[in-house]
Amino acid sequence: MKKNLQILEIENKIGSNGKPYSRIKTEDGWMACFDGKAIEELQKNLGKNCSVETRESVANRGTPEEKTYQNISKYYAVNGDDLEVPVVKPGTDMATPEENKKQFVRTMPKDPVGLAVDVFNQLLETQDEAKPSYDMMMTVAISLVQQAQKAFN
C-alpha cells in the first residue's frame, strides 16, 4: 500500500540470516526495510514526509508466536511529489468519461502477459491460509486481464 510517512529515526541492523536491514520509526510505528536503495533515500530524508510502499508480513504463521510486521518495500519520493494531480482551470470543460477511457487505452501497456503476471503476483500476496493452487490463481489473473481489455476496447 502506498503511504506518505514521516521518517523519524533509522536504525541499521543485521538480520539473523546475516543480511543488513534497517528499522525505521515512522508516525505509524516501527517498520523494517530490506531494500538498499530505499534505505539510502530514507536516510537522506530523515525527518521528512516520504511516499513509500508498505507491505505486511507474518512471522510464525499459524503458531502461538505468530506476529505481523509492517515493512517498507519501496521509496517513491519526498512528500509524495511523484503523485500527479490534474489541475482544471475554472471555466474549462473537463474531459468526458469516453475521452478519459480513450486516453487510458492509449497509455496502458498492451502486454497482456505482463499484466496477467502482475495480477497473479498481487493475488499471491493477498491470499491467506486457504490459498488456491497456482494454476487456479493464474487462470483468475488471465480472466481478469481479458475482462479489462474487453472493457477498454
- Cα 58 to Cα 134, 136, 144: the distances in Å are 20, 24, 27
Helix 134-151 to helix 112-126 angle, to the nearest 10 degrees? 130
Structural domains for the chain: 2-78 (2.40.50), 97-151 (no CATH)
At 31 the pLDDT is 93
Whether the pLDDT of residue 8 is over 90: the answer is yes
Percent of the residues in the chain that have a pLDDT greater than 90, as a whole number: 18
pLDDT in tens, 94-129: 555 555 555 554 444 556 666 777 777 777 776 666
Q: What is the mean pLDDT of residues 23-52?
A: 91
The secondary structure of 18-60 as a DSSP string is S-EEEEEEETTEEEEE--HHHHHHHHHTTTSEEEEEEEEEEES
Task: Provide the whole-model pTM.
Answer: 0.49
Q: What is the mean pLDDT of residues 21-27?
A: 92
At 59 the pLDDT is 82
